Amino acid sequence: MNRSAFSRPLSVAVLVACVGLGAFTLGGCGRDQEPEVITVNEGAGGGAGSAAVAEDGQCARWLENATGMLAPGKLGRTSDADRAAQFLTLYLQQEACTGVPPGPLPLAAAESETAAAEALLVRLLGEEGVDAVTNRRADAADARFLRTRLMDAAAVSAAIGRDAAPEAVALALNRHVADRLFPLGASLVNGERPAGSTYHARLRGEGDWADRAWLFADLLRQAGLDSLLLTPWGTGDPDEPTAWVGVLLPGDGAAEIALFDLRTGLPVPSPNAPDRPVRLSELRENDAARTALRDFYQAAELPAPPFLEDDGAAIGDLAPQLIGENEWWRMASGLIVLPTVEGPGGRTPRTFDPLHDRVGQPGLVSRAASAGFEREAITLWPVPAERAAAATDAPIPPTFNAPMRVGLQAPGAVTITEEGDFEYDRERATPITAPGDELWTARHAQLAGGSNGAREAGGLLEGLLSAEQIGSLFSPRPLPPVSDRDVQGELAKDRRSADAAGEAIGLSRDEREVNAILRAAAANGVAPWPLDRPLPPEVQAVHGAAIPEAALFLAETQLDRGRKQAASELLGNLVFGPANPRKATAAGRLAELVATGGDPATAAGLARQYVGGPDGPRLKVWIARWTAPPPAPPDASAAEGAQAEGTSEVEGDVGDQPEEE
């Protein structure tokens, strides 16, 4: 892509800003005119001191500069979160930009609304809550928050398009989360979840149930749906077995609450309709719904909600908690307009979801209370804020910096004979690596969603996993990078030589391709790694993780593009090939493809081999469904009853007994 799939320009008037020490030089960098110097207002609230008056178009340029740096794939890699936050602060502090006078941002227009809002914020956020919400300065955390909103909006556009019913939206987004966040396994660090937000979890493709709940709620927000964390197992601590996200489905009266289980990544099933999320009201009132719930957790081999231990027990209040990091509630977030993301149903990212009521519009707390919860019982789930704060120093997954190909410096370490063979000088062999940004760029293109993102990601990943690897997908013999033009040039030489000699090329197509790659590599001053020599230890481990990761991401991209056969082949290579950290993930995806392709028995057999892995609970539920006997035809019971009436008198007497209650 020539331009990030995550963003479009905010305006056609784009000026590049140069940042100096102590002040921002804006509005004319590299041009002949005198640059304008604008300083940031002093004070925690951003209102002290005289505010600089923004010239025409300056506000748009500040916002343009900031949002250009926020693009996923850029922020933290080629742009800096602190620098982006400085541009945002310049924008937020100017009344000419926001229309809001200097000082803390007002919570509401009416004094009565302000007093109620302050009381609510103190209850939910503590004594510092009002200051945190009304502060008009931005920091690096705000920049990272906005970056993730761009990724969220892109995901929603790709997953649901434009128009869909609320339940269908919730189902599609839950499926997206379950597919994109496999239960933690390959990315564990010393047995612990690595630090990071939902942005980092999506890069890894793994998270715990709390990551899933957090991401699901954020995607629902982008789609205009509210949600709550409901925790019949305890308090919502990530160490608990699971939790529910209750999605508020609007209707004529109070919103219905559809339930989704985050550990399995599946809807909490309705009786006789496993793909329909059961409503909370049905669990409260319907014995059949409770039975289906008990069967669901029994199949998953997860602890059932404690209220099921007593058939007559009430569900209770379920400790409803609002999901989101604190930047959602900040008034400053409502003043930032991000560019529309590309893709089907392209949308402008939502950045603001206030807790309190304002200008007659109910806040998140009031909307949750209207679904039947006691207002004072509603609290904030602390996990997103804690994890977002810890994401400051979250490392980039090492596979994204992996040397995807390794070679030897030439000349010296290797020479090529007249016959085209390579001779290595073992004493002088110096390994060189070519890390590249292909996997990083491809993953972000994939997460951008839409056909353009999938196409770009697929092209990059296919290049990484092409014949340049020589041998199987897991062959530890990568070549140094050579361009397609180099390879095609060498192949053209072969054809010209054969034509001049009047002979056919006596090699297979694969052999010709390999030879061309070898020669092109040597021409570039780099030789391939010796085929009989193991990779350097510092390269071997990360390379062994990066190649399967690239293959899994490519399989996902193929599925996004509707190429099920190509995806199945890649997943099969991962599942049935050598041991690799993505085998269990691939097995679940492949088993589901096989089942939906009409062979549930084979799918169940494959899934059984991995029920002890991270995705065990979901696989166990699927196995139970795939192996369940088909429902009897509607007229089968009637036919059996008619047959019984025509047999013995004893059987007839049994059939005449009244039905049990």
HEC secondary structure over 272-319:
CEEEEECEHHHHHHCHHHHHHHHHHHHHHCCCCCHHHHCCCCCCCCCC
Q: Which two tokens stand for residue 236?
A: 């919502």
pLDDT (mean) for 353-382: 93
Helices (H), 599-648: 600-608, 616-626, 636-645
**How do residues 157-180 score in pLDDT, each as one tens digit?**
888 866 689 999 999 999 999 999
Q: Is the pLDDT of residue 327 over 70?
A: yes
pLDDT at 499: 77
Helices (H), 357-482: 364-369, 383-390, 438-448, 450-464
CB burial of 40-71 (b: ≥16 within 10 Å; e: otherwise) equals bbeeebbbeeebbebeeebbbbbbbbbbbbbb
Bin 125: left if φ > 0, else alpha if -120 < ψ < 50, else beta: alpha
N-terminal to C-terminal alpha carbon distance within the chain = 65
pLDDT (mean) for 580-594: 94
Greatest mean pLDDT among 35-39, 61-65, 657-661: 61-65
pLDDT (mean) for 430-456: 79
The structural domains of the chain, with segments of one domain joined by +, span 52-397+405-453, 486-525+536-577, 579-624
Lowest-pLDDT range of 50-59, 68-77, 332-341, 353-362 = 50-59
What's the CA gap between 317 and 648, in Å, rounded?
55
Q: Is the pLDDT of residue 21 over 90?
A: no
pLDDT (mean) for 49-75: 79
pLDDT at 302: 96
What's the CA gap between 588 and 559, in Å, rounded?
14
pLDDT tier at 12, thresholds 50, 70, 90: very low
Query: Could you tell me which residues are beta bridge partners of residue 409?
Result: 526
Q: Which two tokens stand for residue 6?
A: 């995550």
Q: Which two tokens stand for residue 151?
A: 């990724």
**AA identity, residue 167:** E
Which residue has tokens 């989704």? 260
Q: Name every residue whose Cβ is closer than 8 Å to that of residue 231 and which is 6 or more positions away in sequence.
A: 240, 243, 244, 318, 319, 321
pLDDT tier at 414, thresholds 50, 70, 90: low
- Is there a contact between 490 and 520 (Cβ–Cβ < 8 Å)? yes
Q: Are strands 405-409 and 431-434 parallel, antiparallel or unpaired?
A: antiparallel
- Is there a contact between 405 and 481 (Cβ–Cβ < 8 Å)? yes
pLDDT (mean) for 335-364: 88
Q: Name every residue whose Cβ is closer than 8 Å to that of residue 153 and which is 6 or more positions away in sequence.
A: 222, 338, 341, 347, 348, 349, 350
pLDDT at 473: 64
What single DSSP character describes residue 241?
S
Lowest-pLDDT range of 153-157, 444-448, 632-636, 654-658 = 654-658
pLDDT (mean) for 61-77: 91
pLDDT at 16: 26
The secondary structure of the chain in percent helix, strand, coil, rounded to multiples of 5, reads: 50, 10, 40
pLDDT tier at 254, thresholds 50, 70, 90: confident
Which residue has tokens 């009786």? 271
As a whole number of Å, the CA-based R_g of the chain is 30
Q: Is the pLDDT of residue 500 over 70?
A: yes
Q: Is the pLDDT of residue 489 over 60?
A: yes
Distances (CA, A) of 131 to 44, 134, 376, 382, 551: 9, 5, 22, 19, 47
pLDDT tier at 469, thresholds 50, 70, 90: very low
Q: Coil, helix or strand for 174?
A: helix
Q: Name every residue whose Cβ is closer than 8 Å to that of residue 641 and which is 6 or more positions away in sequence.
A: 655
Q: Is the pLDDT of residue 656 over 50?
A: no
pLDDT at 223: 94
Greatest mean pLDDT among 63-72, 106-115, 208-217, 244-253: 208-217
CA 179 to chain centre: 9
Greatest mean pLDDT among 69-78, 275-284, 441-450: 275-284
pLDDT (mean) for 314-330: 89
pLDDT at 604: 97
pLDDT at 408: 66
Neighbours of 519 (CB within 10 A): 20
Which residue has tokens 């040039």? 489
